[in-house]
Structure 1
């Protein structure tokens, strides 16, 4: 699925490597070329949290989205009970737009998520 998504220009997933070890994944879930927006997702192994690895990876992907593929909007969804995941978009200047209630079924339990966004104009004004 990931290779087809990449071949279609509709997103991609990348491994995050730290000192020769695969420690996480980051990617664009879907690129909407008509509206010039995407959704960015990430996962990092717990033992590598707190080192700035994911913040640095997200920063690089934001730059790619705005500078290379000329998108206007990036969204990040972070579980309402995952403060570490929420901290990344908050640290990088995203705006929390609201909550999607019970929008994901994880391990048989519904979970709510906060939606964050960053616009190209906000990124360029930094």
Structure 2
């Protein structure tokens, strides 16, 4: 099992089926907060939906195509983060993340994204990491900006969010840029 301790308070653990109730409760309790930027909330209405999500994550990990973790802060699951997909041919990982309501402002997600970036370059020997966020999601965009990712462009109408399209800002960082910091 993958467990990565970031500091005294924050660690990442490969998501497991035994996390289903805690992840579902966090999702359910953060529904209004998360709905502003995540398109899957209306499709996650019961525990079985979260179990199915975790099974998909575990299959992706077993097939070496993705790696999703729960974020643990002071022994409590507070979010999910990881590589939504890994393109081994081009050595690129795509980081995605969300944090439950009330857990922002502690630096948790910046630490998490930094750890995932380090791991991708130092352990997986990837060449590039990409993070995308809705153009108006300033909190999510702040993560790659704080970490020195380069704004590579905007993808117009990149995602359907319940009743409208949102544009995404694409951020990227190369191994040589990260290691040179």
Asked if Structure 1 and Structure 2 have the same fold, meaning a TM-score greater than 0.5 normalized by the shorter chain, the answer is yes
Comparing both structures, which one devotes a greater share of its residues to helix? 2
TM-score, normalised on structure 2?
Answer: 0.68
> What is aligned with 1:12?
67
TM-score, normalised on structure 1?
Answer: 0.97
- Which of 102, 125, 139 is 1:47 aligned to? 102
> What is aligned with 1:85?
140
> What is aligned with 1:64?
119
In the alignment of these two chains, the number of paired residues is 126
Q: Which runs of 4+ in 1 moved over 4 A?
A: none
* CA positional deviation for 1:108: 2.0
> What is aligned with 1:104?
159
Larger radius of gyration: 2
Structure 1: runs of 5 or more not aligned: none
- CA–CA distance in 1 between the matches of 2:118 and 2:59? 23
Write out per-residue CA displacement over residues 17-47 of structure 1, whole angstroms, 9 at most, x where no aligned residue: 1122211110101111111111100001231
Comparing both structures, which one devotes a greater share of its residues to strand? 1
Structure 2: runs of 5 or more not aligned: 1-55
- CA–CA distance in 1 between the matches of 2:74 and 2:119? 23
Q: Secondary structure at the match of 1:90?
A: helix
> What is aligned with 1:119?
174
